[in-house]
Each structure stands twice: as structure tokens, then as C-alpha cells.
Amino acid sequence: MLKLLSNLKKTFWSVIIIVILLCIQAAADLALPDYTSRIVDIGIQAGGIENAVPEVISKENMDLILMLSENDEKITDNYTLLGSTPNEHEEKIIKKYLGKDYKVEANELYILNDIDEDEIEKLSSVLAVPLLEVTTIKNEEFAYMPEEQRKSVLEQFTEQINNMQDSIKEQAAISSVKQVYTELGVDTEKLQNDYILLSGVEMLGVALVIMISAVSIMLLSSRVAGRLGKTLREKVFSKVLKFSNEELNEFSTASLITRSTNDIQQIQQMITMLFRVVVYAPIIGIGGFVKVLTNSDNSMAWIIGVAILGILFVVGTLFIIAMPKFKKLQELTDKLNLVSREILTGLPVIRAFNKEKREEARFEKANKDLMKTNMFVNRAMSMMMPTLMFIMNSMMLLVIWVGGQGVDQGLLQVGDMMAFIQYMMQIVMAFLMISMTSIMLPRATVSANRINEVLDKEPSIKDKKETKKFDQNKKGLVEFKNVSFRYPDADTEILEDINFTAEPGKTTAIIGSTGSGKSTIVNLLPRFYDVTVGELLIDGVNVKDVPQKDLRDIIGFVPQKGILFSGTIESNIKYSDENMSDENMINAAQIAQATEFIEAKENKYKDAIAQGGTNVSGGQKQRLSIARAIAKDPEIFVFDDSFSALDFKTDAILREELSKKTKDKTVIIVAQRISTILNADQIIVLEDGKVVGIGTHEELMKNNENYREIALSQLSEEELTSNFKENKKAGKGE
């Protein structure tokens, strides 16, 4: 997986922006529970008063506080008795709490100095107890008590206050601050509404940041994943184009298609989720846990630990159960593609033999195997989300139960409990995201390994670092010198000790029984395979010593099975050079005897060719394949049984026209029909991968029993003699 992720370097800056946006979003998400807590605890319960430090207080109340406090100096250092001329800071405080029309009287008010948050927090803990005691003293019932009873009640009250948690103590003291403000005539309702409104606007701003970040992240992630998919498809396709037949047979066409589509799609889906898990989930999970431990009562932190352990247990169990099935899933997808491709390709044969039911059963088996595995995986995965949601909701109920008891006992504030619920949901959701990705990861890992298998596979046929150039003095010369060949993993040689030379201006024909190695010989010429033993020389140079591109540029190859590409007749004939002149194209079509059916079509050369050439007959497909090779005008023509679909008359005319085009070219023909090669300059007879005869038709008829048997199995001796004389008299070169 990491190896494939190295391809993200093309989208490096997009990845950096995604990471930055994820950090911003995570920070904003972690800030939201604080706003909820503040709105409930400060805005609603405390009336918009943030701490137990009054910013403005009457001299009377300050004197009482100083009388009850043991830290007079700490308090007086942070307050200033208002004079007749307030400074800028004092005016700001008066305007905020008492209004701009308030008439200032000297030595009547104390104003809090401009101090930082840390100092306010320290001062809040100092003022909390005296403020509560002042409120108690000013209570009407307390005022009518006897002095001894007042003293006893005050001591008991002070003891109770000291036993409270600091957060609860300060929360209670805030009510005293509110009473202090009320005595001064402060509009506490407006103070509360202003605080809630400001906090709400800030909360909406944070939510807007989250929304913009989330949308931007998804857009960029999709773009990065799409670019990675494009890069991987290009690399896989480029690699496959370099494969020899050996590698293509090893992977199979169906598997390569699956790897280029389904497997890469799995990687794309994984990448879209990966950023949110790698960056976002850890920040949310760790950040939320830190917030729980530091910003609120941490007595319920154990609940989050239980939730995380439960999630890890569920995910781990499903991971162990489902992991082996993911690899099987991709293999079964390959199998289904293979069966589908075979059936669709062989549909005419299937219908001809009335085997539709059999093939339906074969497809049904492959389809059912894939369905069963898919259903198993989906069932396992479908259990995950309800189970995880059950854990999360159970933990939420536990938080409400435990937190409710804490609130009832005065040990926990409602806002803190609500913030804890939000933090817990964030932490659990972070682990849910990680667990979801951990389920996607095995399948993506399997897909990544399958893609890497293709990318890491070294082609068995590749160019040397130092290559040679063709010898122009031996242009068109093909030499087989003691050539032997065996297919990979085969036990025996397919070709053994092959020796012959094909010269320019002459036609070399290869004939033999089925399986004798005819097609294997011509597949060695363009290096579809490499010889195992011996040397194959073209233009005086070993084919292994020249670049594959240069080698294939001088060969016009017509395979045994005519292959056409979707497009037009023109695009198929001009396949070697799309800038080829129309005159050259038409000339090639005339030689290949294709003009008759081309001219009969509505759009002529612009007429469409369906995928695989399914809208033309076998003979038409073969003639267009021959025209494509002729249009290329190579040094060497190779025809691998390329006339088999043509009738005798068309075959004869085509060879006659072709002989005019190839007077100075090397022509190598593999044929089954003896009539096609009667007048070849040289006929190679193969039997079980060995050369059992070389010569002209006349020579072989006299001296080679194998050739004679093949010839007489197709034509009578009189027909052979008659055809040979007629062809020779007409001056045909094949």
C-alpha cells in the first residue's frame, strides 16, 4: 500500500492543503463542546457571569469581603476604588454594567483592574468563599438570628463551602456576584442575553468553518484519489503493453482487466477515507480525551475507556473473520470476468452446439460463489455498525446516569455533563472512523498487492542497455541459426535446431501438420517470445541486440486471427501511421482485395468498425488485416496463415497483386493450404518442431515424403502439376 501511495507526489500540495484543513476542522470540532458548556453553565445557569470575580462592586460589599477574607492584600491589589475622574478602562467597565448615563460618585465603587485570565482565575478562588458568606450575612433570616446562632450558622456554612469542589464552589459564588450586580442596579437580564447571543454567533462561526473545511476536504480528497487512480491505470496499462506473451499468459486477460478497474477503484475509495482517518481521527480522539481530562470533571473518563475497549473488541473480531475473505473476493471477481469473457467471445460456438444451459450453469456457479463470499463479508460488515452504535448509545446512557447523579449531588455542572457527552461522541466517532477504514483496508491492501504484482513484474523480453543498429547491407535478411525454443514451464522443446535463411525479394513458406511449430517460428521474429537456444538474426543483427521498436518497425505482421480495433476502416488500415496519405491507404486496400466490399458500404473508408471487428465477416477482417500490413510498407512481411478465410479465387488474385508489391521485400508465409505456397522460392517443412525438408515445390514432391503426403491430402497429383505449371507460366512469385 505504501508503495502505491508514493504516487501521491503529483498531488503533493493538494495533500498538504487537505492536512491543514483537517487540522482546522478538528480544532473547530473540539471547540464546539466548550461553547455548549459555556452557554448552559454560564449563559443560562450563571446569567452570563463567567467567574466569581465581580468587575464592579460597591464599597459596602467590598468592605464585607475584606472583613471575611484572609487574603485582603491579594484582593486590594487587583481592585481600584473609583475616584471622581475614571480612566479609560474604568469608563469601559461602568458603561458595560451601569450604562453610559451613570453618574460617577467618588469612593463608592471598586473597579477590577485590567488583569489577565490567569490572575482572574486565581482571584476567583480567593473571592468565592467570602462572596458566599457575604450573601449569607445579607440574608434577611440571617439578620434576625441571635449573634451566637449567626456565628454558628456562618461557621457551618463556611465548612460546607470548603468541602465543595472548586468548580461547584465558584459556580455558587457566581450567584453571589449576580446579587452584587443587582444591588448596583445592573441589568442582569441584558447581561445574560448579550452573553448567550455572542456565544451563539461564535458557535455558528465555528460551525461555518467546519462546513467549509469539510466540503473543501471532500473535494480535494476526491481529486487526489481520482488523480491517483488515473496514474495507477496509466502505469498498469503502460506496464502491460511491455509484457511479452509469457507475462500475459501468467496473469490472464480477465485478471488484468480486474486489476486495472476494480482493484484500482478499491484504492481510490480507500484514499478518499484515508486522510480523514490518518489526520482527523487521531486529532479528534486524542484531543477529545485531553479535553475531557483537563477542561471538565474527569470522574467519568473511565466510561470512554470502556467504550474504546468495546469498539476495539468488535472491530478486531470482525477483522479476523472477514480478512481471509477479501482476497478470495478479488479472485472470484477475476473468475467471473474470465467466465463472462469466454462465454461472450464464444457465443456463436455455444449456440451452434446448443450448450447455452451448460454455460449458464457455469456462469451461475461463478456468480453464486462470488455472491456467497460477498454476502458473508457484507453480513459481517453489516453487524459492525449496529453493534458500534449500540456501544456508543449504551455509553451515552451510562454518562447521563452517572452524570445525573453527579449533578444531583452538586459535584458536576449540567454544562460539563453535556460537554462530556459531546466529547465522548467525538472520541467514539473517531474510533468508528478508524474501524470503518480498518475494514476497508484489508480489501484495499489485497488490491494494492495485486496492482503491485503487475507493476513489479519485469518483462522477460526487454531491450538491452547498449543496443545495435541494423546492417543496411543485409536489409531484409532473416537467419535462423540452430534455434530452439520452449515455452515457460514446458518440459520439452517446441522448436529444435531450426536452420534456414529468408532472403529479400524471395518468398519463404512454412508448412506442416497442426502443432508442428509454424506459428511459434513467426512469433519469434517480432520477439513475442525469445529463442531459448541459438540465434535469430534480422538484417545481420541478433534480434536481442536491437530495440524492440526498431525491430517491429521493419516487420509487417499479419496474425493468424485477424484483429481489428473499434473505429473506422480508415483508422484500421492507417494504424501504423495515422498521417498516411489516402492514396497509400487505397492502394493497400486494392492489393488486399478489400476495395470491393469497402466501396459497397455507405460511408466507404469512413464506415465504422465495431469492437473486435464483429460487424465484418472473417474474410473481410482478414483482408483488412493484410491491407494494414501492406500500408505499413515494411522490409519483412510475415503472414501467419492469413489467407485461410479467403476463397481460392480471392487468394490467388491477392497473392498475384502482393507479389508486385513485395519484389524487393522478404516474405514469410505460414500456410495450411498447399495452393497458397506452390510457387514459393523456398518451402520449410516442419514436423514435431523440427525441419524435415527445405526446397521448392518440385524438389519436395520428389524428395520429401512429409510434404508429399500433405500436398496429396489436399490436391490430386494432376491438380498439383496443373496448378504449378499455370502459376509458373503466369509468372507468379508465390
32-91 pLDDT, tens digit each: 888 888 888 788 877 888 888 899 998 888 888 888 788 888 888 889 988 878 888 888
Phi-psi region of 102 (alpha: psi -120 to 50; beta: other; left: phi over 0): beta
Compute the distance between CA of residue 635 and CA of residue 327 in angstroms, rounded to an integer.
Answer: 49
The per-residue pLDDT for 734 is 40
| Best CA proximity match to 236, nearest among 451, 6, 3, 528 | 451
Compute the distance between CA of residue 569 and CA of residue 616 in angstroms, rounded to an integer.
Answer: 10
Compute the distance between CA of residue 505 and CA of residue 668 in angstroms, rounded to an integer.
Answer: 11
What is the rounded average pLDDT of the residues 122-148?
A: 73
What backbone torsions phi and psi does residue 109 show, to the nearest 5 degrees?
-130, 150
DSSP string, 9-57: GGGHHHHHHHHHHHHHHHHHHHHHHHHHHHIIIIIIISTT--SS--SEE
Task: Name the least confident of 202-206, 232-236, 568-572, 657-661.
Answer: 657-661
The per-residue pLDDT for 439 is 65
What CA dihedral angle connects 273, 274, 277 and 278, to 10 degrees? Answer: -160
What backbone torsions phi and psi does residue 206 show, to the nearest 5 degrees?
-65, -40
Mean pLDDT, the chain, rounded, equals: 82
pLDDT band at 209 (very low <50, low <70, confident <90, very high): very high
Long-range interactions of 65-70: CB distance < 8 A, separation 24+: 65/127, 65/130, 65/131, 65/134, 68/129, 68/130, 68/133, 68/134, 69/126, 69/127, 69/129, 69/130
The per-residue pLDDT for 722 is 57
Compute the distance between CA of residue 58 and CA of residue 67 in angstroms, rounded to an integer.
Answer: 14
331-371 pLDDT, tens digit each: 788 788 888 878 877 887 887 778 888 888 888 998 898 88
Inter-residue contact 134 to 13 (CB < 8 Å): no
Inter-residue contact 562 to 627 (CB < 8 Å): no
H-only helix segments in 259-345: 264-275, 281-295, 301-345
C-alpha grid cell, residue 72: 485582603
| Residue position matching grid coordinates 437580564 | 189
292-323 pLDDT, tens digit each: 777 655 667 777 778 778 877 887 787 777 76
Residue 732 has pLDDT above 50, yes or no: no
Tell me the residue type at 524.
Answer: L
Residue 204 has pLDDT above 90, yes or no: yes
636 - beta bridge partners? 555, 666
Kindly list the structural domains of the chain, giving each domain's residue range(s) and its CATH number in brackets, ordered by start.
51-198 (no CATH), 243-456 (1.20.1560.10), 478-554+638-650+664-734 (3.40.50.300), 558-633 (3.40.50.300)
Task: List CB contacts of 580: < 8 A, sequence separation 6 or more.
Answer: 573, 574, 631
480 - beta bridge partners? 500, 536
The per-residue pLDDT for 149 is 64
DSSP string, 366-416: HHHHHHHHHHHHHHHHHHHHHHHHHHHHHHHHHHHHHHHHHHHTTSS-HHH
pLDDT band at 165 (very low <50, low <70, confident <90, very high): low
Phi-psi region of 604 (alpha: psi -120 to 50; beta: other; left: phi over 0): left
Compute the distance between CA of residue 638 and CA of residue 552 in angstroms, rounded to an integer.
Answer: 11
What is the rounded average pLDDT of the residues 95-113?
A: 84
Task: List CB contacts of 605: < 8 A, sequence separation 6 or more.
Answer: 568, 569, 570, 573, 582, 585, 586, 589, 598
Residue 199 has pLDDT above 80, yes or no: yes
pLDDT band at 618 (very low <50, low <70, confident <90, very high): confident
Sheet strands (E) in 567-640: 567-568, 608-609, 636-640
243-271 pLDDT, tens digit each: 877 777 777 777 788 888 888 888 888 88
| Best CA proximity match to 630, nearest among 597, 606, 605, 594 | 594
Inter-residue contact 504 to 476 (CB < 8 Å): yes
User: What burial letters (b/e) apply to 575-614, b meaning 16+ CB within 10 Å?
Assistant: beeeebeeebbbbbbebbbbbebbeeeeeebebebeeebe
Residue 205 has pLDDT above 90, yes or no: yes
Compute the distance between CA of residue 700 and CA of residue 706 in angstroms, rounded to an integer.
Answer: 9
532-541 pLDDT, tens digit each: 889 999 988 9
Output 555 or 9, whichever has higher pLDDT.
555
| Best CA proximity match to 41, nearest among 329, 407, 335 | 407
Output 15 or 731, whichever has higher pLDDT.
15
655-686 pLDDT, tens digit each: 788 888 878 889 898 888 787 787 788 999 98
DSSP letter at 457 equals P
What is the rounded average pLDDT of the residues 699-722?
A: 77
The per-residue pLDDT for 328 is 79
| Residue position matching grid coordinates 536452420 | 499
Residue 384 has pLDDT above 80, yes or no: no
Radius of gyration (C-alpha) of the chain in whole angstroms: 45
| C-alpha distances in Å from residue 309, one per residue of 192, 315, 438 | 42, 10, 16
Q: Three-state SS string across 634-651, please?
A: CCEEEEECCCCCCCHHHH
> Terminal CA-to-CA distance of the chain, rounded, Å?
57
DSSP string, 93-148: HHHHHT-TTPPP-TTSEEEE----HHHHHHHHHHHHHHHHHHHHHTSHHHHTS-HH
Residue 201 has pLDDT above 90, yes or no: yes
CA 3 to chain centre: 13
Compute the distance between CA of residue 326 and CA of residue 373 in angstroms, rounded to an integer.
Answer: 9
149-162 pLDDT, tens digit each: 666 766 776 676 66
